Structure 1
Amino acid sequence: MSDAIPVFGTPDGEAPYRPRPAAYGLLSDTRAKLAVVRIAEETGTEHDLPGGALEAGETPEAALAREIVEETGLALAGTPRLIARADHYWIKPDGTRLLNRAHYFAATPGGDIGGKIEDNHTLVWLAPEEAIGLMRHDAAAWAIGQWLRR
């Protein structure tokens, strides 16, 4: 993994962007498909890697495990491996401006343990090349490319 952290997106300069540490998983199944969450928003459907923001005092690894369960119901098997970091500027649908400071982990999915709480998130398994074209953030698409090169 390179020490340089790429930055995606461009701040619009209208208001400050709040730093948001986050963790995302690149989980593959036995068919070499990648776990992707399909997110139903009022503005339409988006796709992202499972994961999200760190809570206060949480490590990226702990946030990853929690977010995977919340979004997919899956546990992680084994220890996730950090494969990339990236920053990206993002304006949420509610207008919140974020500088997402993402950690991307290669991880192995375990079984479904329940616990899924995000009703607008649906787990889908896609070929990585297809997932790249569907990602709502360029940083996530880039991370999939890094994962493919591992």
Structure 2
Amino acid sequence: MIRRFGEPPQNGQRYTRRPGAYALLPRDGRFLLTCQYDPDPDLQLPGGGIDPGESPISALHREVHEETGWNIATPRKLGVFRRFVYMPEYDLWAEKLCHIFVARPVLQLGPPREKNHEAVWMDQEKAAGLLGNPGDRHFAMQFTMPMASY
């Protein structure tokens, strides 16, 4: 059974399954996050949809780079959750299957390539309370690995 966060599915609403890969990116007591400004400001774990034929790890590297401008190393899966949401940018009701990883941010190559995204460094405890969805907040709060190992 995959744990659900957020609103329950609405009766009678059809949902499209959308797998995605997302990362906790710790460094020096802070997380590297992304803020998506459209349609409204939303603080998120960097990541996004896994394209057909793409592995979760490949998607993770691609999405983190697009949303933060950073390359990552040593991704390790922490868990998975699902949430039922409307995605206005796609006009789609989705069952998002969110695969959560922890990885090490190693090199900033430039600014985010994804439109309306900004890379943000934030204290871990503060980030855990401000992330925009309860699944992201759960994994940020549960993260207990020593920073020295990343």
TM-score by length of 2: 0.88
SS of corresponding position for 1:41: coil
Equivalent residue in structure 1 for 2:119, among 113, 117, 123: 123
Match of 1:19 in 2: 17
Percent identity over paired residues: 31
After TM superposition, give the deviation of residue 132 of structure 1 in Å.
2.0
* Matched residues, number: 144
Q: Which moved more, 1:20-29 or 1:91-100?
A: 91-100
Equivalent residue in structure 2 for 1:84, among 61, 79, 82: 79
The 1-side partners of 2:116 and 2:102 are apart by 24
Match of 2:34 in 1: 37
Structure 1 stretches of 4+ moved >3 Å: none
Q: Which moved more, 1:67-76 or 1:134-143?
A: 134-143
Instruction: Indicate conservation of the 8 Å contact 1:23/1:63, yes or no.
Output: yes
Instruction: Indicate conservation of the 8 Å contact 2:81/2:97, yes or no.
Output: yes
Equivalent residue in structure 2 for 1:47, among 43, 48, 71: 43
Equivalent residue in structure 2 for 1:111, among 107, 110, 130: 107
The 1-side partners of 2:15 and 2:26 are apart by 32
- Kindly report the root-mean-square deviation, in angstroms, between the aligned alpha carbons of the 2 structures: 1.7
The 2-side partners of 1:72 and 1:149 are apart by 22
SS of corresponding position for 1:148: coil
Deviation string, structure 1 residues 84-109 (Cα, Å, up to 9, x no partner): 11111111234421111011111000
Task: List runs of 5+ in structure 1 lacking aligned partners.
Answer: none
Match of 2:139 in 1: 143
Match of 1:7 in 2: 4
SS of corresponding position for 2:22: strand
Cα distance, 1:137–1:91 mapped onto 2, change above 3 Å: same
Instruction: Indicate conservation of the 8 Å contact 1:5/1:85, yes or no.
Output: yes
Instruction: Indicate conservation of the 8 Å contact 2:23/2:46, yes or no.
Output: yes
TM-score by length of 1: 0.88
